[in-house]
Amino acid sequence: MPLLIDVFPARSDNYGYLVHDVATGRTAAIDAPEAKPIREALGRRGWTLTDILITHHHSDHVEAIPPLKREYGAIVTGPRAEAAKILGLDRLVADGDTIAIGQSEFVVIEAPGHTLGQVVYYDPEGRHLFSADALFSLGVGRMFEGSPKPMWDGLVRLRELPNDTLVYCGHEYAQSNAAFALTVDPNNAALRIRAGEVDRLRAQNLPTVPVSLGLEKAANPFLRADHPTLARAMKLPADADAHVVFAALRRAKDEFKPA
């Protein structure tokens, strides 16, 4: 039975997601950025919230847990490694665990670096990846916690998922990510095509998610840190370790000011 997904904006630039298991009616919010848009999305669809899947402890992903729990009695699942920092978790998960929403199953994958204990949720049957702030379209989250090597290794694991996986990320950052990506990988045809598509979508105020992982593998410079082109762009030797190139890219993005 299929899984239905509702995509909606929340806060200033977050995305909210509802996943609805058609067979059982169970409905999960991916993260809890803001109660009002989640409530409105549920109302539009006629769904009742039963679960919340939390990716990491940042307030723009957890703030609406208490009101949503009060209203719906939803069961809240989140990363064991960040349990002390998140209020209201009922179920703790770690890398390799699976979590069922009705008949739909999500695999938990750890993706450290933006926060140390961040997890993402992958539905292998429908090929949906809720990547939160680990992987954005044409970018990755800021490295607030941890170090480049585990962050890069986590991204390599996400990169190993099938090309036809659809990526649903935590924020709408695609346009600013594209501006940076074009400075480090200007001759990448896939990137240029995606950047044009992002501009067209944003001009109509449409979301740039979901995006195929196959496209991101070709266009996102942070998934291409082991490609000599990116080493060259970072003025590193062609055989530099990928995580060193990745660290240089992340630093360059932090310092990047769009024209």
Enumerate the active-site residues: 56, 58, 60-61, 114, 133, 171
Residue 29 or 248 with smaller CB distance to Fe ion: 29
Residue span binding Fe ion (CB under 5 A) among the ranges 51-59, 64-72, 76-84, 230-238: 51-59
Give the shortest CB-12-to-Fe ion separation in angstroms.
Answer: 11
Residues 169-198 that bind Fe ion (CB under 5 A): 170
**CA 42 to CA 49: how far, in whole Å?**
7
Size of the site for Fe ion (CB under 5 A): 4
Q: Cβ of 203: how many Cβ atoms within 10 Å?
A: 9
Residue 209 or 233 with smaller CB distance to Fe ion: 209
Residues 52-81 that bind Fe ion (CB under 5 A): 58, 60
Locate all alpha helices (DSSP H) within 64-173, ordered by sequence: 65-72, 148-159
Residue 63 or 133 with smaller CB distance to Zn ion: 133
Give which of Fe ion, Zn ion, none residue 82 binds (C-beta under 5 to 8 Å, depending on kind).
none
Q: Helix, strand, coil shares of the chain as percentages rounded to 5?
A: 35, 25, 40
The encoded tokens of residue 95 equal 């890398």
Angle at 180 between CA 167 and CA 245, to 5 degrees: 85
What is the dihedral sign for C-alpha 175, 179, 180, 184?
positive
Taking CB under 5 A as the rule, which mask of x and - marks residues 107-146 in contact with Fe ion?
--------------------------x-------------
Residues 44-63 that bind Zn ion (CB under 5 A): 58
Residue 11 or 159 with smaller CB distance to Fe ion: 11
| Nearest to 27, CA basis, from 91, 103, 78, 87 | 103
The encoded tokens of residue 234 equal 């970072």
3-state secondary structure of 83: helix
Give which of Fe ion, Zn ion, none residue 139 binds (C-beta under 5 to 8 Å, depending on kind).
none
Rule CB under 5 A: which residues touch Zn ion?
58, 133
